[in-house]
Structure 1
């Protein structure tokens, strides 16, 4: 049995092609899905073949409050019109001290497909957040 505490209050660090975009508070979409084709076997009514076919990976979205690291994302996004290349990304789950790694996922053929900035409404007192969305073709 492990004697270490499980990761709680996790933060995520995002790097794309070695460029550190800083820590994020939430990460959604890490996963894989295998589509299955069902084939009924003739003459055998109590058996259905389930054949794996296509593998898909949902987009990964990372979100955080606006910080000084938001400028890193803006510099990265400013370079996109000149070069849209598929690269690699590392998403690292960190303990709250932002130094100890819990686990790391490496994604291949990554493209930034979206960025959402904050919405400002003077009638509502909320934290200004930003989100970045990544499409990818699997894990390394």
Structure 2
């Protein structure tokens, strides 16, 4: 008889690999904003005092923010933003792989219509001993089945 621990890879010490189309943007230490929300309109029916109709209208997807310590992969984010300006931009797809430190994939998320929204670089100071971090915020138009591992 197997236990839940045997069948489930626990999401402890996770890192996130981002593939934009087929370009690897590297690993990130945190990922926030994965989710979806259904917008609901309410309608009151005349003569029905027992309830209000809750009608789903559209899906909304919050922006996703990825954060990591500054490293050699940081230049890839700048290249992504620069390509938008110099070559024109087309909506891409992305895959976010949640992985353990040993490289075991825990979960995979596919995103369509990916748009870079914001890059925040580190505050560089010789008097501060904190790890310098960067973050990138991306918008997307929904989830799709993720591409196979690559």
- How does the TM-score come out when normalised to structure 2? 0.87
Cα contact 2:9–2:106 (8 A) shared by 1: no
Structure 2 residue aligned with 1:9: 13
- Of residues 6-15 and 114-123 in structure 1, the stretch that sits farther from structure 2 once superposed is 114-123
Please give the residue correspondences for 1:23-38 in structure 2 after superposition, counting only pairs within 5 Å.
Answer: 23-38=27-42
More helix by share: 2
Counterpart pick for 2:85 among 81, 85, 97: 81
Q: CA deviation at 1:17?
A: 1.1
CA RMSD in angstroms comes to 1.3
The total of aligned residue pairs comes to 139
Give the Cα–Cα distance (whole angstroms) in 2 for the partners of residues 12 and 113 of structure 1: 19
Q: Which runs of no fewer than 5 residues in structure 2 stay unpaired?
A: 145-150
Q: CA deviation at 1:122?
A: 3.6
Q: Deviations over 1:2-41 (max 9, x none)?
A: 3144120110001111100100000001000001111111
Counterpart pick for 1:136 among 131, 137, 140: 140
Give the Cα–Cα distance (whole angstroms) in 1 for the partners of residues 46 and 9 of structure 2: 53
Please give the residue correspondences for 1:24-103 in structure 2 after superposition, counting only pairs within 5 Å.
Answer: 24-82=28-86, 83-97=88-102, 99-103=103-107
Give the Cα–Cα distance (whole angstroms) in 1 for the partners of residues 55 and 22 of structure 2: 38
Give the Cα–Cα distance (whole angstroms) in 2 for the partners of residues 57 and 5 of structure 1: 26
Structure 1's 54 and 138: CA in aligned 2 closer, same or farther, altered over 3 A?
same
Q: CA deviation at 1:129?
A: 0.6
Q: Which runs of no fewer than 5 residues in structure 1 stay unpaired?
A: none
Give the Cα–Cα distance (whole angstroms) in 2 for the partners of residues 5 and 121 of structure 1: 39
Q: Which runs of 4+ in 1 moved over 6 A?
A: none
